[in-house]
A and B are shown apart, each in its own frame.
Chain A
Amino acid sequence: MEKTLKLSSQNLNFYYGTVQALHDISLDFYSNHVTALIGPSGCGKSTFLRCINRMNDLIPETKVDGKIIFDGQDIYAHSLDVVLLRKRIGMVFQKPNPFPKSIFENVAYGLKVNGIRDKRLISETVEESLIKSALWDEVKDRLYESALSLSGGQQQRLCIARALAVSPEILLMDEPASALDPIATQKIEDLILQLKELYTIIIVTHNMQQAARVSDFTAFFYMGKLIEMDDTETLFTRPKLKQTEDYITGRFG
């Protein structure tokens, strides 16, 4: 497998107040590959994901040290504009969270806030994004209906389309299918496999089968520490550490 380094976390520590949630995480992510972050609840995998687009900045009294290097630049550097960073690193959340606006407006939102006014360009991008997120055929005749009228699975694909519309380089997905039924989950997983042709994807999941199905690399987190990281097949078939093996075989967690 040809690998280009896209993002690299270097000795990252993260604190909620005085509680240290991440300990010395060093982890590399490669272009056009899917990396899954697995581990039991509270192990820090979501916290780590939210460090990558600096979403944790929104939580008061948190502290970060260490570096996350994205295309050669530390995203925690003072000179970095977090608004521009978040345009380049998109995010899909655990629960589908479309805005209470029309389907079209949801996807167009990111373009508009980033200063694009050309109406034709906007509607082309909206269509393109909905095609990429495999939602177009289901919504093309109802683009101006409220996004809240869609089913949960459709809403989540709409959220993916919304994230894709601003052409991010990395897509962060925080348990994107955990609130969905098996059929909708299947659709999201198929989608992830298609999208990695175009994007670098980092996905947090509780579901180990899901990690095994969609990801190229898997990182196992436990108690705020990165325990083991390897290509997915190796990690699931021949884990190096007993702790990893215990978790993936369901003996704890």
Chain B
Amino acid sequence: MQNIYFHKRRKIVEKIFFGIFRLSSAINALALFIIIYFIVGKGMQAISWTFLTEMPTDSMTKGGILPCIIGTFILSLCSIGIAFPIGVSSAIYLNEYAKSGTVLRIIRLCINNLAGVPSVVFGLFGLAFFVIWLNLGVSLISGSLTLAVLTLPVIIGATEEALKAVPHTYREASLALGATKWQTIYKVVLPTALPGILTGGILGLARAAGETAPIMFTAAVFYNPSLPSSIFSKIMALPYHIYVLATAGTEIEKTRPLQYGTALVLIVLVLGMNLIAIIYRSKLRRRMR
């Protein structure tokens, strides 16, 4: 008898835990769904051809957000353009070349801490270092560099994971054929790890595109009704534009639809850039099978 009770209880416990795990996963999906539902529902009415292709007018209560779209697009591409090669190179060094020891441990500690620094601190750092000390001014380049520092740990982390996932036997096979270490990395390890490395790039790009605090002191301005003409241009950016519309000025309630419209554009832009990278990645994966 005791055995049957035990068995029943075991089954119930099993069900409860499965239920908890299933619910947790569902909450994830639900959260994303609700966000999209609200943003689309409230922002859709603001979307129009004018909104996407024109400069803001009437103290930003009318007109479009073209400079913000272009600004965020260029800003995130520039920052990933800086952070991706540096991040991937660092990860290769850490994972393939560096001998384990104190130095390596300290470098890793630095990277992990870099990942934990709040983004507003990056903003202030960017202001002090790039804008003032290097005298780059509030500009596209200052913002890109600041965002690059912010996204570095993301890229390094993802690249290291991807490199670790490459079977050790591939490296041995290559070296045993008389390949040098670099040839092995370049011709075998990197191509195998590339899909994972690109995932890092995607995450970094999305992170860079969405950040507000790091660019509010370094690159973005309240209002600049012209498209960036050089890397020293001050720019408008989508996340900062949302922040400005939602917190500053006297027309906060009036611009609510514009805020949601801008948020919708930001989401679509980030998802769009992700989608391109994801399609490219799955192509690579298929080629390796």
Expressed in whole angstroms, the minimum distance between the Cβ of B189 and any Cβ of chain A is 10
Q: Does A87 contact B (CB under 8 A)?
A: yes
Chain A, range 133-162, C-beta contacts under 8 Å to B: 146, 148-149, 159, 162
- Interchain CB contact under 8 A, B178 and A86: yes
Instruction: Give the distance in Å from the alpha carbon of A163 to the alpha carbon of B178 in the complex.
Output: 10
Instruction: Give the distance in Å from the alpha carbon of A41 to the alpha carbon of B9 in the complex.
Output: 45
- Interchain CB contact under 8 A, A58 and B175: yes
- Interchain CB contact under 8 A, A97 and B177: no
Q: Mark B164-204, 1 if CB is under 8 A from A, else 0.
A: 00010111111111111001000110011000000000000
Of B100, B177, B183, B288, the residue contacting A90 (CB under 8 A) is: B177
Count residues of chain B with CB under 8 A from any CB of chain A: 22
Q: Does B99 contact A (CB under 8 A)?
A: yes
Q: Mark A22-61, 1 if CB is under 8 A from B, else 0.
A: 0000000000000000000000000000000101001010
Q: Which of A55, A83, A93, A112 has the most CB of B within 10 A?
A: A83
What is the chain A residue whose CB lies nearest that of B180? Answer: A83
Instruction: Give the distance in Å from the alpha carbon of A165 to the alpha carbon of B250 in the complex.
Output: 76
Instruction: Give the distance in Å from the alpha carbon of A83 to the alpha carbon of B235 in the complex.
Output: 52
Instruction: Give the distance in Å from the alpha carbon of A60 to the alpha carbon of B101 in the complex.
Output: 11
Which chain B positions have C-beta within 8 A of A146? 288-289
Which chain A positions have C-beta within 8 A of B173? 93, 97-99, 159, 162
Expressed in whole angstroms, the minimum distance between the Cβ of B289 and any Cβ of chain A is 6
- Interchain CB contact under 8 A, B187 and A90: no
Q: Does A7 contact B (CB under 8 A)?
A: no
Of A95, A148, A149, A162, the residue contacting B177 (CB under 8 A) is: A162
Which chain A positions have C-beta within 8 A of B179? 83, 109-110, 113
- Interchain CB contact under 8 A, B188 and A93: no
What is the chain A residue whose CB lies nearest that of B183? Answer: A113
- Interchain CB contact under 8 A, B175 and A86: yes
Of B167, B176, B178, B288, the residue contacting A55 (CB under 8 A) is: B176
What is the chain A residue whose CB lies nearest that of B168? Answer: A58
Expressed in whole angstroms, the minimum distance between the Cβ of A102 and any Cβ of chain B is 10
Give the interface of A toward B (CB within 8 A).
53, 55, 58, 60, 83-84, 86-88, 90-91, 93, 95, 97-101, 109-110, 112-114, 146, 148-149, 159, 162-163, 166
Task: Give me 10 A-to-B residue pairs in the complex whose CB atoms sit less than 8 angstroms apart, sorted by A's number.
Answer: A55-B172, A58-B172, A83-B178, A86-B177, A90-B177, A91-B176, A93-B169, A93-B173, A100-B288, A109-B177
Smallest CB-CB A-B distances: 6 pairs: A87-B178, A110-B177, A97-B169, A113-B179, A91-B176, A100-B288
